Amino acid sequence: MNANLAAALNPPVRILMGPGPSDIHPRVLEAISKPTVGHLDPYYLQTMDAMQVMLRDLFRTQNEMTFAISATGSGGMEATVVNLVEPGDRVVVCVNGVFGMRMADVAQRAGAEVTTIERPWGEVFTVDDLKEVLVKTQPKLVGIVMAETSTGAAQPVAEISEVVHEAGAMLLVDAVTALGGMPVEVDRWNIDAIYSGSQKCLSCPPGLAPVSFSQRAVEVALNRQTKIQSWYLDISMLANYWGSDRAYHHTAPINMSYALYEAVRIILEEGLENCFERHLDNHLALKAGLAALGIDYTAQTGHQLPMLNAVRVPEGVDDASVRRDLLNRFGIEIGGGLGAFKGKVWRIGLMGYASRQANVLLLLSALEQLLAEQGLQFERGAGIAAANQHYLQG
């Protein structure tokens, strides 16, 4: 026997309640195990067609150029930026967390002259925040994160879109955490380009990035003065693969496509409004339970994400030990803070298949025990009682 032979895979069973990936629906796991066919097989091409139709429903758009990039959500970000930005283009990026910072970095790497506007972490942008910079810079593109995963802040997009387009710019939206967990209205909000990821509220393994480009955005990408810097992410070629020509571009991840197909199918089967209501209901129950334990949210009131609950670690409580014990003793994963929130914040995901009453109550029960062990003072059982009261009120 080869002494270097690694052990057989035997991953632990976890309840994924962090910032992603989320728990994978059993039907999605079953779909990913189905027989692989070729990336130009007639069956796979039919699957691509059907998935595009479903993604348009999910994004609430009629955009023809709606498909899944063979990459993670960060690849979707890069795809939208490199297709729309040429060297020297003026780009404004709204930064109120880690992922706004990342978008600005990607735009700079594409050669853009990037201007960032900032809000404190946990706050969101208003129209007034953008007006002056839009007049001053007259940008080609404005980028904003709809659901900032590092802070739990939900950014209203419709009003921002209006002022951006009044200034003659295009709007790029990060919907990595938003898609499938809250309304995303691409056509109604006049979004020019948008990207997401398969591993958040879609409850699919990471590896695909749903994107959508408006007709205006497609025309900008096709009429550039310079070549798109990424061959792999060039939508002029991807359009030929996902469109009627079916020209070979790359070997698509066949089985991951099966998984995303089934994941989106599950959401549409539930119904978008029912899906959004489920996420909101479980968020409110968790919020009630955490409040009973004296735990506050980081995002400003009225702008808290239903699927990503960013909360302050109580004073005197050891952040890392609680997360470690949740994982090792209860099999529950939650996330720690990033950047300015490192060591100060827990990020609790209620995304997709993980957004279930059973998970809310289990987490609150485990958290109460661990916090009591660290000496935090609260009425025993108060968190579970508050969450149950919310559910009983319906």
pLDDT tens digits, one per residue of 74-84: 999 999 999 99
pLDDT in tens, 124-144: 999 999 999 999 999 999 999
Q: Is 315 in the same domain as 334?
A: yes
pTM of the predicted model over 0.85: yes
Is there a single domain that holds both residue 328 and residue 255?
no
Enter the tokens of residue 65.
């150029």
> What is d(CA 258, CA 267) in angstroms, rounded to the nearest whole number?
15
Specify the 3-state DSSP secondary structure of 174.
strand
Total domain count for the chain? 2
What are the start-end ranges of the H helices in 188-307? 215-222, 235-242, 254-270, 272-292
Other CB atoms closer than 10 Å to residue 31's CB: what's the count? 21
Statement to judge: residues 83 and 222 lie in one domain: yes
Rounded CA-CA distance 381/364 in Å is: 9
- On the question of a cis peptide bond just before residue 21, with omega within 30 degrees of 0, the verdict is yes
**What's the pLDDT at 1?**
64
**Structural domain ending residue among the three candidates 268, 301, 328:** 268
**In the predicted structure, residue 13 carries a pLDDT above the cut 90:** yes
> Would 226 be classed as within a structural domain?
yes
The dihedrals phi and psi of 92, each to the nearest 5 degrees, come to: -110, 130
pLDDT of residue 374 exceeding 90, the answer is: yes
| Closest alpha carbon to 147 in 354, 362, 350 | 350
On average, the pLDDT of the chain sits at: 96
**Does residue 373 form part of some domain?**
yes
% of residues, the chain, pLDDT over 70: 100
Whether the per-residue pLDDT at 239 is higher than 90: the answer is no
If you ran DSSP here, which 8-state letter would residue 291 be given? H
Beta bridge partner(s), residue 216: none
Distances (CA, A) of 11 to 8, 14, 27, 331, 341: 9, 9, 19, 12, 30
CA distance 274 to 183: 11
- Domain termination site, one of 268, 286, 304: 268
**Whether residue 96 sits in one domain with residue 202:** yes
* Assigned domain for 12 exists: no
- On the question of pLDDT at 342 being above 80, the answer is yes
Q: Which residues are bridge partners to 126 per DSSP? A: none
Return the CATH number at 201.
3.40.640.10
Q: What burial class does residue 327 get, using C-beta atoms within 10 Å of its C-beta: 0-12 exposed, 13-18 middle, 19+ buried?
A: middle
pLDDT at residue 394 in the model: 73
**Residue-number span of the structural domain to which 191 is assigned:** 26-268
Pairing of strands 345-349, 335-336: antiparallel
Q: What is the dihedral of CA 42, 45, 46, 49, to 10 degrees?
A: -160
* Domain contains 261: yes
Question: Looking at the domain assignment, is residue 180 inside a domain?
Answer: yes
227 plus 336 within the same structural domain: no
For residue 115, what pLDDT is reported? 98
**For residue 111, pLDDT beyond 90:** yes
